[in-house]
Amino acid sequence: MSQREQWSSKLGFILAAAGSAIGLGAIWKFPYIAGQNGGGAFFLIFILFTLVLGLPLLLAEFTIGRTAQDNAVNSYRKIAPGTRWHWVGILGMITSFILLSFYSVIGGWIIVYLVKAIAGDLNNLTVDQYAEVFNGTISDPVVSVLVQLLFILMTIIVISGGVQKGIERVSSFMMPALFVLFMILVVRAVTLDGAMDGIRFLLLPDFSKVTSQTILEAMGQSFFTLSVGVSVMVTYSSYLPKTQSLPRAAFSIVGMNIFIVLLAGLAIFPAVFSFGLEPGAGPVLLFNVLPTVFSQLPFGMLFFIAFLVLFLFAALTSAFSMLEIIVSVASNGEPSKRKKWAWIIGLAIFVCGVPSALSYGVLGDVIIFGKTIFDLADYTVSNVLLPIGALLITLFVSMKMKRSALWEELQRGSRVKRGLFEAWFFLVRYVCPVLILAVMMDVLGVW
């Protein structure tokens, strides 16, 4: 068997892990979930969960991955041989599978808009016309399935090329560009007439709107945007040389993520209020609002095209990580098998994702537990599977890994202070599991 692949540079890992984290979660999902959950209070709770749960979990996954240096399933096996803990990795694979099946639908929507913007179909439309064009396209069964397939094909092609060649190269230039474009967008959005209402909506918490459902969704959202609970970060850090500081990587990824969430919120909500749109519009929110904001900028459509390209990259780098975790287990570290499995699994995900793509058209009337197929898949991943995965990972670290071994692993490549380590360990051991369980039980009405 050939030697295990590694990231080719220090930056490679940070970029790829940040690329996994920053994606549709921060840019597309956050605004629409926050919009449905009353804005400010949701945002605040989301930030708290990101710091108290997401950050420690991210570091926990990094530590597991770099300790074991193996794929998502074998990592648990290596650390706790002869136990059933590797099911945490299998759960992560299942979660990733479902996740990519609907994530690719939104990836497809970006492609639709990109094609339309390049073709000049989006010039000088009104807010309502943008919504019309967009809703018309995503309800078309052939178009929505084709673009979904295209998105998955891009993911398959990169992942079949291998970690280093594929993921790193694509991740290394898009992030800074995305930040810059977002800033331009925010400046335009917050200077629109009536923008203050949107800023207030996002930043002033109104706790009367908070229910146990809001709290669960904020928790799910914090896991979703950081890609934790699925062992994706276990997989990525397993390719990491021992010279890299794990805490520094975790802090910078969380920092970037919070920043991009804030930018997305500040780009969307002022515009929503200024144009008199509905913040609770759901998954179509971003797609209905953004072109209008861009059209208010000089050279707006050019900016919009650039934004869509970067947005597509951001979505793709997250999609890579979802497919990578499954392919790395299936091919068991053998580069010769990687290509075959990337295609088999990728296409299987596409087939299972077709009903989600049709949820906005021909299957729109299929409602299960009060939700469309797309919404059900999204809800199940974010609010059921990710919290369960996260809970199990915290239990694994506190029950199966020695405190001294954790301390040693975290010190490699880093000068982490003992106090910081103890705080992290306390959060992972006590606070995270108790809080995750409490939030879940609260929604189930256990008390």
Residues that bind ligand PHE (CB under 6 A): 20-21, 23-26, 99, 224-225, 227, 230, 232, 318, 321-322
Distance of CA 346 to the CA centre of its chain: 18
CB of 77 to ligand PHE, least distance (A): 21
Close Cβ partners of 278 (under 8 Å, ≥ 6 residues apart):
35, 272
Using Cβ positions, the residue closest to ligand PHE within the complex turns out to be 25
Q: Which residues contact 354 (CB under 8 A, 6 or more apart)?
A: 145, 148
How far apart CA 320 and CA 100 sit, in angstroms, is 9
φ, ψ for residue 368, nearest 5 deg: -120, 130
Q: What are phi and psi of 245, to 5 degrees?
A: -80, 115
Q: How far is the CB of 23 from ligand PHE (least distance, A)?
A: 3
The smaller minimum CB distance to ligand PHE, of residues 21 and 312, is found at 21
Nearer to ligand PHE among residue 26 and residue 105 (C-beta): 26
**Could you tell me if 63 and 246 are in contact, meaning their C-beta atoms sit under 8 angstroms apart?**
yes
- Report yes or no: 425 and 404 within 8 Å, Cβ to Cβ: no
The smaller minimum CB distance to ligand PHE, of residues 215 and 385, is found at 385
Residue located via tokens 């809703």? 135
In the complex, least distance from residue 263 CB atom to ligand PHE, rounded to whole angstroms: 14
CA distances for 185 relative to 78, 265, 296, angstroms? 47, 11, 10
Nearest residue (CB) to ligand PHE, 237 versus 321: 321
Q: Which two tokens stand for residue 316?
A: 């793709």
**Quick one: 295 or 394, whose CB is closer to ligand PHE?**
394
CB of 15 to ligand PHE, least distance (A): 14
Closest CB to ligand PHE among 92 and 355? 92
**Least Å distance between CB 52 and ligand PHE?**
18
Kindly state the smallest distance separating residue 445's Cβ from ligand PHE, in Å: 27
Least distance between ligand PHE and beta carbon 129 (Å): 29
Cα–Cα distance, 428 to 134 (Å, whole number): 43
- Start-to-end CA span in the chain (Å): 53
Shortest Cβ distance from residue 323 to ligand PHE (Å)? 10
d(CA 328, CA 342): 9
Nearer to ligand PHE among residue 92 and residue 300 (C-beta): 92
CB closer to ligand PHE out of 175 and 322: 322
- 38 and 214 Cβ atoms separated by less than 8 Å: yes
**C-alpha distance from residue 299 to each of 275, 286, 293, 304, 344 (Å):** 20, 20, 12, 9, 42
